Amino acid sequence: MAKSIEDNASLESFSLESPSPLYARVKQIIMQKIRSGAWLPNSKVPSESELLNLLGVSRMTINRALRELTIEGSLVRMQGVGTFVAEPKGHAALFEIHNIAEEIEARGHEHRCEVIVLEEMPERARASMPFPLEGVKRLFHSVVVHHENGVPVQIEERFVNAEVAPAYLQQDFTKVTPYAYLIQLAPLTEGEHVVESIHAKSAECKLLQIKRYEPCLLIRRRTWAAKGQVGCARLVYPGSRYRLEGKFGS
């Protein structure tokens, strides 16, 4: 016999008739509620007991569906409080280089930039750079944290050719991002990047306000302009808050 789920807001019913396993059907029903806008971000979803009564499936089935949706980032479970619809993840372009402030503002969210480090880089520290920069004599080093609606979503660490951007250390990066400043000063002609999955360093976890072993996305990027090598960057995103997107072909 087909079952359907209806929440206490008298929303439309969803059929459970499907050849898929029961837990997968429950996931489909919940995701349909979320995608349709019936269950909005940060709203509390029915409890396991409520879902059990509505669907007539076992508690183990309900638990597995909620657990997998939480791992996938669609739900957030708070012990002793309940289960909530997760905020949609922000995204960054994979094959194009954009200003993160513009990406955040395009989603209708507030961007804030926090400056952690802004200095001339000593020669002995160059071994920590994400790419070697042959022939670059002086380097400036910056670390900033980008926040979306008050939540840290990216650490941007840059190593900048001082010959290309001699006034880099005099900029106020709380008002303009390093990317926006550099792209205006020296429009990019070429770039390369490497994407990796990592566990952030202890200091980075603190800046991103994440647990020590939470997976993160790392982009190592190197860019050139007509003036020569602009520099390289190390961008760290919490995996639970960001995704990378890209497309190709016509």
Q: CA 15 to CA 65: how far, in whole Å?
A: 16
Task: State the 10-residue block means of pLDDT for the chain, 250 residues long.
Answer: 41 51 85 85 88 88 87 77 77 61 88 96 82 86 95 95 96 94 89 86 92 87 89 90 59
Q: CA 159 to CA 22: how far, in whole Å?
A: 52
- pLDDT at 191 (0 to 100): 85
Cβ(56)–Cβ(49) under 8 Å?
A: no
- pLDDT at 172 (0 to 100): 96
- pLDDT at 214 (0 to 100): 84
The distance between the two most distant Cα atoms of the chain, rounded to a whole number of Å, is 74
- pLDDT at 90 (0 to 100): 55
pTM above 0.75, yes or no: no
Alpha carbon distances (Å) from 183 to 49, 152, 173, 176, 188 = 54, 23, 14, 11, 6
Q: Does residue 55 sit in helix, strand or coil?
A: helix
Q: Does residue 69 sit in helix, strand or coil?
A: helix
- pLDDT at 196 (0 to 100): 87
Q: Which phi and psi (to 5°) does residue 213 adopt?
A: -110, 25
- pLDDT at 179 (0 to 100): 92
Cβ(26)–Cβ(61) under 8 Å?
A: yes
- pLDDT at 233 (0 to 100): 93
Task: Domains for the chain: give ranges and CATH numbers.
Answer: 22-85 (1.10.10.10), 90-245 (3.40.1410.10)
Residues near 209 by beta carbon (within 8 Å), at least 6 away in sequence: 151, 152
